[in-house]
């Protein structure tokens, strides 16, 4: 099933609208990849996600200047956060030379960029080695913009941040969306605004507070809401049940009740876990039990949804035509507490529906469950995904050049 066409939801220039031949194009990518202690990349999905945009620019005869952040180096150079390992991986993935420059502004960068030929690819060093990036410093933005003729944003994962390379540079250059950014908007915004029904939202993760905006934005659009993870126990506690040591946001109890009442008013089917896996500690070898959610003993903590909940949730997904999933069902990083999350991942993958998984931990869970190839779309964003699902405009998208003015 295809989402609604991009023209219905974006109305910004995309990379295909630019005449790239012989032009220098500054592409803001999201190469914020995990590295091990030897600085080897442990997961290169974010690099691979940018390849369609990079390859398109190369094929069109552009000179490609790639820029990204990695980690939080606090505004100064730190070898632990260098993008050099990414340059090595990119050479292999593109099967061509990638020139790595050990800075992102200054004479050395200018010199390398001026010598570029069509089809060349340069990767600049970590943008956050300069405080001007996170401070959205105008002078830093100007220096980055001076390297190129066009700006392309393909870093959806950072599109919610008002940083220089996201909102500063586009003020000085014609600015367009890359293929990944375009696809993210197409799926997340397009599907939420115009879903094929029945539309089911599965929300998990630790806290209700992080998902209130999503619930409020979806309440008039969804047919069913399934709640798992730690956030479920704030809802269960708000109904007057004992939840032991399970994660609860006491200040959110009234909000949880209000959300449940509002969804009921709208005719939305609302599902909470009926049983859960509990443990007395979060150690990998801890003793676990399965109990009904209304019978969690004092001193025990819910760590995953139980088998009856897996069955209930899976059955609720059977008639779905659109499924949106954001947030795991438990502490899936520990094997003993991962079964519920992985079972839901398989149920989502098996559904005859357009399936969208919203970034962060859920993305990792789907890959660990081995079903990522069966999901229609996996978002690369965390905070950016949530903001879009809340119906908010992202700064990095708002600043792109409008189609109608060109």
The pLDDT tens digits for 365-400 are 999 999 999 999 999 888 888 888 888 889 999 999
In a domain, 364, yes or no: yes
Q: Tell whether the model's pLDDT for residue 5 goes beyond 50.
A: no
Range of the domain at 62: 6-184
For residue 374, CA distances in Å to 180, 251, 325, 348 come to 19, 38, 14, 9
From 133, 163, 184, the end of a domain falls on 184
Q: In this predicted structure, what is the pLDDT of residue 20?
A: 97
Catalytic residue, candidates 23, 110, 207, 311? 207
Q: Which helix (H) or strand (E) holds 53?
A: helix 51-59
Q: Tell whether the model's pLDDT for residue 270 goes beyond 90.
A: yes
Query: Is the same domain home to 166 and 202?
Result: no
Query: Is the same domain home to 147 and 283?
Result: no
Query: Is the same domain home to 149 and 224?
Result: no
Please give the full DSSP string across 360-380, using - where no structure is assigned: HHHHHHHHHTT-GGGSSEE--
Query: Is the same domain home to 14 and 109?
Result: yes
Q: Tell whether the model's pLDDT for residue 2 goes beyond 90.
A: no
pTM of the model: 0.89
262 among known catalytic residues: no
Going by C-alpha positions, the residue among 260, 239, 321, 46 that lies closest to residue 158 is: 46
Angle, helix 51-59 to helix 179-193, in steps of 10 degrees:
130
In a domain, 400, yes or no: no
Query: Is the same domain home to 83 and 201?
Result: no
The conformation of residue 402, written as its DSSP 8-state character, comes to B
Q: Tell whether the model's pLDDT for residue 3 goes beyond 50.
A: no
Query: Is the same domain home to 146 and 209?
Result: no
- Band (pLDDT 50/70/90 cuts) for residue 360 is low
Query: Is the same domain home to 169 and 212?
Result: no
Catalytic residue, candidates 262, 383, 391, 403? 383
Query: Is the same domain home to 135 and 253?
Result: no
Query: Is the same domain home to 153 and 273?
Result: no
Query: Is the same domain home to 95 and 230?
Result: no
Distance CA 25, CA 16 (A): 13
Catalytic residue, candidates 46, 161, 211, 237? 46
The two three-digit tokens of residue 251, written as one number: 């200040």
Catalytic residue, candidates 360, 381, 382, 396? 360
228 among known catalytic residues: no
Q: In this predicted structure, what is the pLDDT of residue 405?
A: 47
Q: In this predicted structure, what is the pLDDT of residue 107?
A: 97
**Structural domains of the chain, count:** 2
pLDDT digits (tens, 9 = 90+) for 168-203: 999 999 999 999 999 999 888 888 888 999 999 999
Q: In this predicted structure, what is the pLDDT of residue 76?
A: 94
Could you tell me if 54 and 121 are in contact, meaning their C-beta atoms sit under 8 angstroms apart? Answer: yes
Q: In this predicted structure, what is the pLDDT of residue 143?
A: 98
267 among known catalytic residues: no
- Band (pLDDT 50/70/90 cuts) for residue 9 is low
Lowest mean pLDDT across 48-62, 75-89, 199-213: 199-213
pLDDT digits (tens, 9 = 90+) for 107-155: 999 999 999 999 999 999 999 999 999 999 999 999 999 999 999 999 9
State percent of the chain over pLDDT 90: 81
Lowest mean pLDDT across 19-28, 85-94, 162-171, 181-190: 181-190
Distance CA 73, CA 405 (A): 38
360 among known catalytic residues: yes
What residues contact 102, with CB distance under 8 A and at least 6 apart? 84, 108, 125
The overall average pLDDT reported for the chain is: 93
Going by C-alpha positions, the residue among 91, 141, 149 that lies closest to residue 121 is: 91
pLDDT digits (tens, 9 = 90+) for 273-331: 999 999 999 887 889 999 999 999 999 999 999 999 999 999 999 999 999 999 999 99
Query: Is the same domain home to 353 and 260?
Result: yes
- Biggest CA–CA distance in the chain, Å, is 70
Q: Is 350 helix (H, G, I), strand (E, B) or coil?
A: helix
């Amino acid at each position: 099933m295809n989402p609604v066409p991009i023209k219905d939801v974006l109305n910004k220039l995309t990379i295909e609208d630019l005449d790239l031949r012989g032009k220098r194009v500054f592409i803001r990518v999201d190469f914020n990849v995990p590295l091990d202690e030897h600085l080897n990349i442990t997961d290169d999905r974010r690099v691979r996600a940018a390849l369609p945009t990079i390859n398109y620019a190369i094929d069109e005869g552009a000179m490609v200047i790639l820029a990204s952040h990695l980690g939080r180096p606090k505004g100064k150079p730190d070898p632990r956060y260098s993008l050099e390992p990414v340059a090595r991986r990119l050479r292999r993935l593109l099967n061509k030379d990638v020139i790595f420059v050990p800075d992102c502004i200054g004479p050395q960068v200018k010199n390398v960029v001026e010598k570029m030929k069509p089809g060349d690819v340069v990767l600049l060093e970590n943008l956050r080695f300069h405080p001007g990036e996170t401070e959205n410093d105008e002078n830093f933005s100007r220096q980055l913009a001076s390297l190129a003729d066009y700006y392309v944003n393909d870093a959806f994962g950072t599109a919610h941040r008002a940083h220089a390379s996201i909102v500063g540079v586009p003020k000085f250059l014609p600015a367009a969306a890359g293929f990944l950014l375009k696809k993210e908007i197409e799926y997340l915004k397009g599907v939420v605004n115009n879903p094929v029904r029945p539309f089911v939202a599965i929300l998990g993760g630790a806290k209700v507070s992080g998902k209130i905006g999503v619930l409020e934005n979806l309440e008039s659009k969804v047919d069913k809401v399934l709640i798992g993870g730690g956030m479920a126990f704030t809802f269960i506690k708000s109904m007057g049940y004992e939840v032991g040591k399970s994660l609860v946001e006491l200040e959110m109890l009234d909000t949880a009740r209000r959300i449940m009442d509002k969804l009921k008013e709208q005719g939305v089917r609302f599902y909470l876990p009926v049983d859960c896996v509990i443990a007395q500690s979060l150690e990998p070898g801890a003793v676990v039990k399965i109990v009904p959610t209304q019978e969690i003993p004092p001193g025990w903590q819910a760590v995953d949804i139980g088998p009856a909940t897996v069955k209930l949730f899976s059955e609720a997904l059977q008639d779905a035509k659109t499924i949106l999933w954001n947030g795991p069902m438990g502490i899936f990083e520990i094997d003993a507490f991962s079964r519920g999350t992985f079972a839901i991942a398989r149920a989502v993958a098996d559904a005859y529906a357009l399936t969208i998984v919203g970034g962060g931990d859920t993305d990792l869970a789907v890959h660990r469950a081995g079903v990522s190839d069966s999901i229609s779309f996996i978002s690369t964003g965390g905070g950016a995904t949530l903001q879009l699902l809340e119906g908010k405009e992202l700064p990095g998208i708002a600043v792109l050049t409008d189609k109608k003015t060109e």
